[in-house]
Amino acid sequence: MTGKNTLLFIVALLVAGLAFLNPSGLRKTGDFLTFGLSTGDKISPEDLNSKLAVSCATAPEIKGKFVAGNVFSRYPMNLKDQLLVDVGSADGVKLGGAAISDGMLVGKIAGVSANTSIVQTVFDPNFSLAVRIGKAREDALLKGGVEPRLTLISKASSLAAGDAVYSASKDFQYGLPIGIIGAVNPTTQNVFSEAVLTLSYSPADLRYLFLEKQ
């Protein structure tokens, strides 16, 4: 083995060893290396709880049912749109429960481990959710994606752009707001109409989430 190869091998062992360190020890390096995809500084538990308290004040029905956590990381590939949050089963997080941010439903809890949870957001291509729209309570199916869509809207419905969209799935609390409806597209080929879901936030803005507790 030449000197160059020995040096490369030793450095490779050191680098590989770093990968097995406690993730929290590498948090700052990880934040730097994710070039903005990760969320930077952790929000303190006190600040998170005060944000949760503000949300509970405006929506009392969620009081005591959610726990606040920092968004730790975001799935970097196109296959999924998932967020890793730094609270888990030890904090009482419920698998399959709702994830909300500032009162808006942003996804469902797809995985829970002791100290972390995975949230499948509405931007995930495999996300789907039964929803209702507007005061007329028209049924629709929300299909996730880079541009989430509202599908299976009855052509007889009288919806207008700007009507509120809220959850109607048995898995979540009824009526959690999700966004507003964009322009309805009554296609001639399909039996149902479709519309774009307009959200008040961008996925990159999500720095903390409130996850449903058991």
Partner 1 sequence: MPRGFKTVIFATLLLLGSFFLELKQKAAFGWSFDYILAALLVLPLFLDFFEFIFFGSVAFLLLKLVYPWSGPEVILLIALPVLVFIFKKIFPWQSWLESFLAVLIGVTGFYALVNPSLFFENTGFLVTDLAVSMIFGWAIYHFLASIGKRNK
Residues that bind partner 1 (CB under 8 A): 1, 4-5, 8-9, 11-13, 15-16, 18-19, 23, 26, 29-30, 33-38, 72-79, 81-82, 84, 116, 118, 123, 125, 146, 202-204
- Shortest spacing between CB 211 and partner 1, in angstroms: 17
- Cβ-based nearer residue to partner 1, 88 or 163: 88
- Cβ-based nearer residue to partner 1, 20 or 46: 20
- Cβ-based nearer residue to partner 1, 134 or 145: 145
- Cβ-based nearer residue to partner 1, 53 or 146: 146
- Cβ-based nearer residue to partner 1, 24 or 185: 24
| Residue 68 contacts residue 51 (beta carbons within 8 Å) | yes
- Shortest spacing between CB 147 and partner 1, in angstroms: 9
- Residues 6 or more apart whose Cβ sits within 8 Å of residue 95: 109, 111, 112
Distance between CA atoms of residues 158 and 130, nearest Å:
19
- Shortest spacing between CB 73 and partner 1, in angstroms: 6
The C-alpha angle with vertex 13 and arms to 8 and 14, in degrees rounded to 5, equals 100
- Shortest spacing between CB 189 and partner 1, in angstroms: 18
- Residues 6 or more apart whose Cβ sits within 8 Å of residue 75: 81, 82, 83, 84
The DSSP call for residue 11 is H
- Shortest spacing between CB 6 and partner 1, in angstroms: 8
What Cα–Cα distance (Å) separates residue 1 from each residue in 8, 13, 155, 201?
A: 11, 16, 73, 55
